Chains A and B, each alone.
Chain A
Amino acid sequence: QQPVQSPQAVILREGEDAVINCSSSKALYSVHWYRQKHGEAPVFLMILLKGGEQKGHEKISASFNEKKQQSSLYLTASQLSYSGTYFCGTGGGDRGSTLGRLYFGRGTQLTVWP
């Protein structure tokens, strides 16, 4: 049930945009996005719930298409501080999800150069 993230890695110049995708083979109720900077713990960015809502966090936004079981994270006008590994975590209708667990993808490593 691990979601698939793409791409595995992205290299950007400051000010460029990026999109990170997360897709699942199972029906999803929620998608969570986290960012982990090198040597630090993952930090929560946002949650998207079933219903196609879109959310934003600074210049980072995301969409959730539950019919396609996909979510995308949009990083606009990237800054040096955006560098890190981005993880999506998904929750569905299985027992584990109803008890509170998430299934995390393998991560997308984003590097922003000046």
Chain B
Amino acid sequence: DVKVTQSSRYLVKRTGEKVFLECVQDMDHENMFWYRQDPGLGLRLIYFSYDVKMKEKGDIPEGYSVSREKKERFSLILESASTNQTSMYLCASRRGLGTRRFIEQFFGPGTRLTVL
């Protein structure tokens, strides 16, 4: 069974802290994504990675960085957390581009981050 796991379901941090959100997939997928979900704004892409050590900015990368040292793990880093980064963070993965170019993304359960 396909599985994407995220390190925490709920996280509370203080303003200015460095925050790490971890995502692990067990499907040998090439592509991994980090989204932010806020009410009424849908799923907004922060960063994605199409291969190990390869990353691309999404639509709202400011204040975030990512790391992908191993194929199965994609980390989202908030260098200095701020209250406006309080949100639900969703990780997703999918197979890389091949003969079937456009295929489904599998989502993790999400991490609800609160920055105080």
Contacts and interface: CB of A to CB of B under 8 A. Distances in A.
Given A42-B107, A44-B104, A99 B42 contact: no
Contact of B102 (A32, A42, A87): A32
A100 B43 contact: no
Contact of A42 (B48, B59, B90): B90
A40 to B, nearest CB: 7
Contacts of A91: 102
Main secondary structure of the interface of A (DSSP, over half): mixed
Interface string A87-114: 1010100001011111111110000000
B88 to A, nearest CB: 10
B105 A102 contact: yes
Given A87-B43, A101-B48, A107-B42, A47 B97 contact: no
B22 to A, nearest CB: 16
Given A98-B97, A100-B48, A47 B43 contact: no
Interface of A: 2, 29-30, 32, 40-44, 47, 49, 87, 89, 91, 96, 98-107
Given A42-B107, A102-B45, 17 more contacts: A2-B42, A29-B102, A30-B102, A32-B102, A32-B105, A40-B109, A41-B4, A41-B108, A41-B110, A47-B104, A96-B48, A99-B97, A100-B96, A103-B45, A104-B43, A105-B42, A106-B40
